Amino acid sequence: MKLAREFKQFLLRGNVVDLAVALILALAFFAVISAFIADLITPLIAAIFGQPDFADLTFTVNNSVFRYGHFINVVIAFILIAAVLFFFVVKPVNALISRSRKQPPADPTTRKCPQCLSEIPIDARRCAYCTSEVPPA
């Protein structure tokens, strides 16, 4: 009984549930990107280079078939997934984080003397440089 309760607590912990949700979202994202590549990018490559799919590109050495075309397809898919993640996930998240970390400007501790334009403390009544009287801030 105790083992079952501990296992249930383990499964319902936030980390496990979050990981499961992240995995499901990653698989769905992979399906979307794969469809994007197969339905939009591959025909675009075919329009430019004349071959819609590189999977048929092979060479043979001693009756061993090397399918380098499939590797090219996978590399293109990886680069596109990395680009989509970078521009649509990483950049916006970094921008949001940098905006949230900006500190409000600190209250000024100095001001300029109206006569000599030297920096003087904000509460000063006389300039230390030109000795002129300064109105309160």
pLDDT digits 0-9 by tens, 126-137:
888 888 888 887
- Total domain count, the chain: 2
pLDDT digits 0-9 by tens, 58-92:
889 999 989 888 888 788 878 877 887 888 888 99
User: Do 70 and 130 have their domain in common?
Assistant: no
Percent of the chain at pLDDT exceeding 70? 97
Which tokens is 110 given? Answer: 């100095």
Mean pLDDT of 88-110: 82
Average per-residue pLDDT in the chain? 83
Residue 14 pLDDT: 66
Query: Cβ(57)–Cβ(72) under 8 Å?
Result: yes
User: Do 35 and 75 have their domain in common?
Assistant: yes
- What CATH number does the domain containing 29 carry? 1.10.1200.120
CA distance 94 to 17: 25
Which residues on adjacent β-strands are paired with residue 53?
none
| Residue range(s) defining the domain that contains residue 131 | 107-137
